[in-house]
Amino acid sequence: MDRIAPGVAEIGPGAVLGKKSLAEWHNRCYNYKNYHKACSSVFSQRGGNPPLKLKENAGSHRKMKNILQIMAARSESNDRFQALPMAEMVRDSKRGDIISAPLAWDRIFREERNNAATYVRQSTAQWENEYRALLQAIKVPIILFWFSPKRLDEPVDFGAADTRAFLGKFPQFITGRNVDALRPFQGRFITCFSDRNMGQPLVSRFTGQPVEIDYGLLRGLGVTTKEKNNNYYPSSDMHIDAAQALFPAVREILG
């Protein structure tokens, strides 16, 4: 079995592990007539990039119809760490080093667990401010899209046994209450809670053989997890469910 770094493998048949827009996913797994015309721009970054990064490009999409995916707050700044332009990387205010956001929250979980709730509130408040700024910068109706098995009322587990359980499901730390804080905005809010066929074996896009994803090969992130199955990124079947959830709103936009 090959051992490779994240971002190089395909997740089962037809779904690429990495950052793919919903429009690209849709075109690979479902074929609604004219769907792509309403998805000429899809703001979707599967990592934890802050919405401020998306806002930088919002001006170029003023004439397009946009699907804006609800992203995580795990990379948003708080009193413990500062978000950086690099995806998923932050600067630890106490130690001064640059680390991944998951590692930063692992430090909080192990070193400052009593302050975790405060840091989460600070990060989600920053998330709300940046999403409001992004929504104001987009001058056309949008579809705000929640694409995750996580329910809108699922709370943060501050009593979790480990950091992964503390972080929870994507979009980390965000709930329906945070989405409500963005209202009013020009557009619609659509949800897709699918986890259909999650856990697919990981196979190489080059050989078709099973692979093991070794996050330890990404040096400096402080993550040593190894995976043979996709237990995080949306499966091909979830992409189909997403297209079905979006289609009525897209058809309405198309008229």
Spell out the per-residue pLDDT of the chain, length 255, in tens.
Answer: 656 555 433 333 333 333 333 334 334 333 333 333 333 334 344 445 555 555 555 544 444 458 899 999 999 999 999 999 888 899 999 999 999 999 999 999 999 999 999 999 999 999 999 999 999 988 888 899 999 999 999 999 999 999 999 999 999 999 999 999 999 987 899 999 999 999 999 999 899 999 998 888 876 566 678 899 999 899 999 999 999 999 999 888 877
Rounded (10°) CA dihedral 239, 138, 51, 27: 20
- Count of structural domains within the chain: 1
Strands 66-69 and 142-147: parallel
Rounded (10°) CA dihedral 247, 67, 104, 133: -140
Identify the domain containing residue 235 by its residue range.
2-254
